[in-house]
Structure 1
Amino acid sequence: MSLTQAQIEQARARVPRAFHLPLALRLRRIALWTLFAGLMLYCLWVFNFSPTRIWIGLGRLGDVLGFMFPPYIWKSWTEFSEILKGLGETLSIAFMGTLLGAVVAFPLSFLGAKNINRLNGLRLGVRRGYDIIRAFETLILALIFIRAFGLGPLAGILAIAVSEVGTFAKLFSEAIENTSTKPIDGVKASGGTRFQQIRFGIAPQVNPVILSILLYNFESNVRSGTILGIVGAGGIGFLLSDRISAYKWDEAWSIIFLIIAMVYVIDHLSGIIRARIIGDWEGTK
């Protein structure tokens, strides 16, 4: 279907920017793209990026990967039990850190939800507290707790727990704020107290969301626990760092493979738990 010149002119009059952008807008776009390109080139220059350096690095990376194959196979139970103990410590650190963080964050999340806490000053102060806690990286917290409590899994557990308090409290409070008011009104109309409104009106709506958040962060904390072990907070990361420092690349690759397998198993089990619990919840609505 062809358009007449008159129809084109009418369309141009209705939406002129679809045919020709104003000069000011075009200059603004050019300036923004120029700034973006300049910032990118500056970062490459500051970080000493060059094709030669990348090519040399890829060659060295190939050498490291070559040292990793074939993977190392532990020949005695004594050697392998040490690795299993490290994996168990990492899993325990992630589990305890996630659990402690959730226990502390759950009541704090109600103070940060605007449909629960009507005191704006208190609510905003609590939310800023979430931000302050989340500003500290888990690795930094681990170094602080290692200084305070010494080397070992305790420092890793506390680092993950404190970090997750800020994350969980923020996510839980947002989930609480996004709940429907109809179940709450129903409980209120039947004479329910404020606690009962939260228990029977809000909790059934946010429980599946909270479960998903907990399971996902637990998977993430298993990976974080590996990094914390490298700085001395216990777990498999310490053994991995030790093997890399000793240039035992084949054994390091075997440990990395076991970490990947552990994360995969946890992800699979989390999916099963999420499907069963959330499925039951949906069936009762």
Structure 2
Amino acid sequence: MTMTPDRIAAARAAHPLAFRAALPVRLRRWALWTLFAGLFLYCLWAFNFAPARIWTGILRFGDVLGFMFPPHVWKSWAAFAPILEGLGETLSMAFLGTLLGAIVAFPLSFLGAKNINRLSPLRLGVRRGYDIIRAFETLILALIFIRAFGLGPLPGILAIAVSEIGTFSKLFSEAIENTSDKPVEGVRAAGGSRLQQIRYGTMPQVMPVILSVLLYNFESNVRSGTILGIVGAGGIGFLLSDRISAYRWDEAWSIIFLIIAMVYVIDYLSGLIRSRIIGRHEGTR
């Protein structure tokens, strides 16, 4: 007999208890929802999410927005040149940090890929190394490197690079593991060595993913470079922090607008590169 939606609805109406979850399952669900609601309410209480405080904050935020308008317009090149220099420093920090992180992470990713590295202890040890590196937030790394190398863009570059080593290594290794074995088997059947199997069987599949990850993280690191500048790593973030500390909100908003515009341009160009490169790879399959 074919079960139709009408028959299922009729059976559910005739025997509702048969369609209910078992009692242990319902108890677990109630316990989890109770725990979630209790944790949510505790967080609201512990962090003082009082309606009066929220309303006061909204009013103050409105005052800050009022100070930001109209935006500041630089009327001389001497005044605007430091802003462009700060934007260039932030862009350079993101580019160099992303590039250095990718250069180190690329070979490490093969050691963490199951279909490349068959030695389980070594592979698991490398993967735990990824986790250790990713446990350190970029801002914490920047503060450490600032203590070691002093103020300026260099600590920001190193912080981004070290942070991206863990991120890139994990993402690259997962991309390598998700490749198909058929091209590799074809190269092996033709007499190719292990390196040739990786070069001609695995790499063409994984390179579009690696490129996409690199472009996205570069865009993300431009934003991270702004935050790093606030703690002393140079770039536009330092100038933004200086303007906010001096209550020059109109100039701060203009700098924020320039940061948004720079990120938008980078995102647009990254999209063009991804569509051209990845589309070309897909067209050759």
- Asked if TM exceeds 0.5, the reply is yes
1:89 aligns with 2:94: no
SS, match of residue 62 in structure 2: helix
Q: CA deviation at 1:281?
A: 1.1
Q: Which amino acid aligns with 2:164?
A: E
1:218 aligns with 2:221: no
1:115 aligns with 2:122: no
CA distance in 2, matches of 1:183, 1:246: 61
Q: Deviations over 1:237-276 (max 9, x none)?
A: 0000000000000000000000000000000000001111
The residue aligned with 1:198 is 198
CA distance in 2, matches of 1:120, 1:134: 21
CA distance in 2, matches of 1:95, 1:125: 29
Q: Cα distance 1:34–1:284, how it changes in 2: closer, same or farther (>3 A)?
A: same
CA distance in 1, matches of 2:7, 2:102: 66
* RMSD (CA atoms): 1.9
1:8 aligns with 2:18: no
Q: Which amino acid aligns with 1:165?
A: I
Q: Deviations over 1:83-104 (max 9, x none)?
A: 0000000000000000000000
SS, match of residue 191 in structure 1: coil
Q: Cα distance 1:4–1:37, how it changes in 2: closer, same or farther (>3 A)?
A: closer
CA distance in 2, matches of 1:277, 1:2: 48
The residue aligned with 2:265 is 265
> How many equivalent residue pairs?
281
Q: CA deviation at 1:8?
A: 2.2
The residue aligned with 1:142 is 142
Q: Which amino acid aligns with 1:205?
A: Q
1:282 aligns with 2:282: yes
The residue aligned with 2:32 is 32
The residue aligned with 1:102 is 102
Q: CA deviation at 1:21?
A: 3.0
Q: Where does 1:25-104 land on structure 2 (aligned, <5 Å)? A: 25-104=25-104
CA distance in 2, matches of 1:266, 1:278: 17
Q: CA deviation at 1:180?
A: 0.4
Q: Deviations over 1:46-101 (max 9, x none)?
A: 10111000000000000000000000000110110100000000000000000000
Q: Which amino acid aligns with 1:8?
A: A
SS, match of residue 179 in structure 2: coil
Q: CA deviation at 1:24?
A: 2.8
Q: Deviations over 1:147-194 (max 9, x none)?
A: 001100000000000000000000000000000000001101111111
1:248 aligns with 2:251: no
CA distance in 1, matches of 2:54, 2:141: 33
CA distance in 2, matches of 1:12, 1:133: 56
CA distance in 1, matches of 2:100, 2:5: 68
Q: Which amino acid aligns with 1:229?
A: G
State the TM-score, normalizing by the size of structure 2. 0.95
Q: Which amino acid aligns with 2:80?
A: F
CA distance in 2, matches of 1:40, 1:57: 21
CA distance in 2, matches of 1:2, 1:172: 46
Q: Deviations over 1:108-163 (max 9, x none)?
A: 00000010000000000000000000000000000000000110000000000000
Q: Which amino acid aligns with 1:214?
A: L
Q: CA deviation at 1:236?
A: 0.1
Could you list the structure 1 runs, at least 4 aligned residues long, displaced by more than 6 angstroms after superposition. Answer: 1-5
State the TM-score, normalizing by the size of structure 1. 0.95
CA distance in 2, matches of 1:8, 1:215: 54
The residue aligned with 1:186 is 186
Q: Which amino acid aligns with 1:191?
A: G
Q: CA deviation at 1:32?
A: 1.6
CA distance in 2, matches of 1:2, 1:276: 47
SS, match of residue 272 in structure 1: helix
Q: Unaligned regions of 5+ residues in structure 2, if any?
A: none
SS, match of residue 113 in structure 1: coil
Q: CA deviation at 1:30?
A: 1.9
Q: Cα distance 1:121–1:11, how it changes in 2: closer, same or farther (>3 A)?
A: farther
Q: Deviations over 1:20-45 (max 9, x none)?
A: 33333323222221111111111111
Q: Cα distance 1:183–1:248, how it changes in 2: closer, same or farther (>3 A)?
A: same
Q: Deviations over 1:189-223 (max 9, x none)?
A: 11111110000000000000000000000000000
